[in-house]
């Protein structure tokens, strides 16, 4: 009998807590029946929601705590979900709580993988040709060339798991595609990636900002500041376009009639622009898998975050990353220059 994928959920995280987390878990369970859940949070809030979904109730165990992350630490629902991963009780922890708190707790509790200085947030980005993995989306700010190479390796492992690619293409986000452009760290990272003998990573060069949406590479690497700005700009643009379309379709009776004929096309566009469809940022580089959901997502969006966590466990992301790290994918730290007497 196949082994179950056990998922720990912070049922008190996010804007709506259990009223979104529980229905989201029910949706994800319908797509992945081999899932079990550990639900951490206030039983008085969880049980009424859980009673609405008998199949989920049968596949879940509730661990009570009435401590939210803002009021406590090691007894909070967020901490306990992460701790379940550390203890091997769950394969992944998922929370819609505060990003900074989640990153700090995950890093303190799980620690980073050998060869990884700092974890990163990686997410699936919808593109005109499909989807890409983009990282870092704001876990930390800045980073030297070796850090960017580490991100490339981890992102490539994630893309190979999610997209079933043997050798994902990797690009570095930069202000131009010419080799002379960009900060020194980016240019140095490009040299290191070109020199790597890595059978599971295909470095293709620099990618400009508009290349993210075009799907210029399967994996696009950036340090956290630039990545977070790109993410927020894209989300804002998606909402802006949706608002423009809604206003345009309601402006005249002709446009309303036109909408009726093109309703299917507009629904497809709206789904493509919906950030909930790409919900779920993976905290890469830790000795355990943690997924961050948008705090304001709905149940369907939270289900997508659970789906991401399921895929990471089911296809053994950590083993994949470790294999790539141990195959000489990372360059060693620079050694001191030789002193000539």
- Which CATH number characterizes residue 323's domain? 3.40.718.10
Q: Report residue 10: phi and psi, to 5°.
A: -80, 100
pLDDT on residue 335:
42
SS3 81: helix
Question: Mean pLDDT over all residues of the chain?
Answer: 84
The sign one gets for the Cα dihedral 268, 269, 271, 272 is positive
Query: Which percentage of the chain shows pLDDT scores above 70?
Result: 83
Count of domains observed in the chain: 2
Range of the domain at 191: 119-281
* Shared domain check, 23 and 123: no
Per mean pLDDT, which range of 68-82, 160-174, 182-196 is the poorest?
68-82
Please check whether residue 145 is in contact with residue 305, taking contact to mean a CB–CB distance below 8 angstroms: no
The mean pLDDT of 190-219, rounded to a whole number, is 88
The mean pLDDT of 93-114, rounded to a whole number, is 92
* Shared domain check, 182 and 108: no
pLDDT on residue 264:
61
* Shared domain check, 48 and 70: yes
Per mean pLDDT, which range of 86-95, 130-139, 193-202, 232-241 is the poorest?
232-241
pLDDT on residue 226:
86
pLDDT on residue 336:
41
Q: Cα separations (Å) of 55 from 37, 92, 298?
A: 11, 21, 20
* Shared domain check, 69 and 54: yes
3-state secondary structure 301-327: HHHHHHHHHHHHHHCCHHHHHHHHHHH
* Shared domain check, 309 and 292: yes
pLDDT on residue 44:
94
Domain membership of residue 341 (yes or no) is no
pLDDT on residue 328:
53
* Shared domain check, 210 and 125: yes
Measured distance CA(59)–CA(5) in Å, rounded = 11
């Amino acid at each position: 009998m196949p082994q179950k994928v056990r998922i720990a959920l912070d049922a008190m995280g996010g804007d709506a807590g259990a009223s979104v987390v529980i229905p989201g878990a029910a949706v994800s369970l319908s797509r992945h029946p081999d899932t079990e859940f550990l639900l951490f949070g206030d039983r008085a809030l969880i049980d009424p929601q859980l009673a609405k979904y008998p199949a989920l109730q049968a596949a879940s165990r509730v661990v009570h705590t009435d401590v939210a992350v803002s009021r406590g630490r090691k007894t909070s629902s967020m901490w306990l979900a992460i701790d379940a991963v550390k203890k091997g009780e769950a394969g992944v922890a998922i929370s819609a709580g505060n990003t900074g708190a989640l990153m700090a707790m995950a890093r303190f509790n799980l620690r980073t993988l050998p060869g990884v200085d700092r974890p990163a947030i990686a997410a699936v980005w919808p593109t005109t040709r499909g989807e890409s993995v983009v990282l870092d989306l704001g876990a930390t700010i800045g980073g030297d060339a070796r850090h960017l190479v580490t991100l490339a390796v981890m992102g490539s492992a994630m893309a190979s798991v999610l997209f079933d690619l043997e050798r994902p293409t990797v690009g570095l986000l930069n202000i131009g595609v010419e080799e002379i452009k960009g900060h020194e760290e980016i240019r140095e990272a490009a040299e290191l990636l070109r020199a790597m003998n890595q059978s599971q990573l295909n470095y293709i060069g620099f990618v400009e900002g508009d290349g993210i949406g075009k799907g210029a590479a399967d994996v696009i690497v950036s340090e956290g500041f630039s990545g977070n700005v790109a993410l927020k700009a894209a989300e804002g643009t998606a909402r802006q376009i949706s608002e423009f379309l809604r206003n345009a379709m309601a402006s005249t009776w002709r446009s309303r009639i036109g909408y009726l004929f093109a309703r299917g096309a507009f629904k497809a566009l709206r789904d493509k622009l919906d950030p909930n469809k790409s919900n779920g940022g993976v905290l890469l580089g830790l000795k355990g898998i943690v997924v961050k959901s948008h705090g304001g997502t709905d149940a369907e969006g939270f289900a997508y975050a659970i789906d991401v966590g399921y895929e990471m466990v089911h296809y053994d992301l950590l083993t994949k990353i470790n294999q790539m790290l141990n195959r000489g994918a990372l360059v060693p730290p620079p050694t001191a220059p030789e002193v000539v007497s």
